């Protein structure tokens, strides 16, 4: 209605989930809308995957990679992961740390696909390869589902039934030389879009990575976590794998991660569930609540044109 304009934005792709919140917040702040709804729905159970069609003419850059075996996102991330392991000594145990942290949180979440389905190191290490060095548990789930969040002004939020959570800062990022879904052609493929988004994100924030109480980091594949930890400034270049050691990503660790289970163990809805879980954490209603959580980083996919958002109480 004209007297109560509203905006709806859908999310497409792993780099997108944090961006609609930023656009809607800007629209509300500038008076273009009074209510914004961001949403994502997926029906992964329908239809064949696009890479199964061997007759279609491939777009650039896929025509240069798919004939040589980079058919799926798992293959593309697997290549980045192998390079990261070669450069910095990361191991499968580091990737297991990521998968385990997400699974442990899903085990606490009745809405998660992997609720009450524990993961052990033996299960991880003996699972089948999907695209070396990525095994079954390095890959996100296949999920049918839908989520949404509502954005209104801070003033209006005070009258809402639910405790408000505030959009503090947001950014989108694409580095120079980027080309395609996952980039192998720039000077440094291991410094991806997260580094660009992070510069803008922290520039407009009045706190730093050290002040983040809980993080919801896009996890379609386990290697994206150490790469994102570096890109968003939680550790130095090449230190992301070691950062996962000693329970750092668990509740009570240095940076509790993906507390609903994430794409690896709750559901894969292009990362939109990470936004909803971030809101739950700051409302104090998560199934794996971080005590006193007041700030949360939510990121979209590393390796692809990406976005991120900072939430706070």
Distance of alpha carbon 92 from alpha carbon 262, whole angstroms: 19
Residue in 84, 124, 243, 268 annotated catalytic: 268
Residue in 84, 124, 218, 232 annotated catalytic: 218
Let me know if 184 is a catalytic residue.
no
How many whole angstroms from its chain centre is CA 77?
Answer: 14
- 8 vs 16, 34, 36, 170, CA distance in Å? 14, 11, 6, 18
Let me know if 166 is a catalytic residue.
no
Catalytic residue positions, numbered: 218, 268
């Amino acid at each position: 209605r004209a007297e109560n304009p509203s905006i709806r934005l859908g999310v497409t792709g792993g780099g997108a989930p944090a961006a609609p919140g930023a656009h809607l917040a800007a629209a509300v702040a500038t008076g273009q809308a009074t209510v914004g709804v961001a949403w994502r729905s997926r029906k992964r159970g329908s239809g064949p995957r696009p890479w199964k069609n061997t007759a279609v003419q491939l777009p650039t850059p896929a025509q240069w990679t798919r004939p040589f075996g980079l058919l799926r996102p798992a293959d593309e991330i697997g290549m980045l992961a192998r390079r990261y392991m070669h450069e910095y000594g990361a191991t499968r145990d580091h990737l297991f740390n990521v998968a385990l942290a997400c699974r442990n949180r899903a085990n606490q979440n009745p809405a998660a696909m992997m609720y009450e389905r524990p993961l052990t190191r033996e299960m991880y290490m003996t699972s089948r390869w999907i695209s070396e060095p990525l095994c079954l548990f390095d890959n996100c789930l296949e999920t049918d589902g839908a989520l949404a969040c509502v954005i209104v002004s801070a003033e209006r939020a005070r009258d809402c039934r639910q405790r408000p959570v505030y959009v503090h800062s947001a950014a989108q990022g694409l580095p120079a030389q980027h080309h395609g879904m996952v980039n192998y052609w720039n000077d440094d493929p291991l410094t991806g879009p997260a580094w660009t988004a992070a510069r803008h994100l922290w520039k407009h924030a009045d706190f730093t990575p050290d002040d983040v109480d809980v993080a919801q980091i896009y996890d379609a594949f386990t290697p994206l976590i150490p790469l994102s930890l570096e890109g968003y400034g939680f550790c130095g270049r090449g230190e992301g794998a070691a950062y996962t050691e000693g329970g750092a990503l668990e509740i009570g660790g240095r940076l509790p991660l993906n507390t609903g289970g994430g794409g690896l163990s709750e559901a894969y809805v292009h990362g939109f569930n990470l936004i909803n879980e971030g809101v739950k954490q700051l409302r104090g209603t998560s199934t794996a609540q971080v005590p006193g959580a007041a700030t949360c980083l939510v990121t979209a996919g590393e390796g692809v044109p990406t976005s991120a958002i900072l939430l706070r109480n």
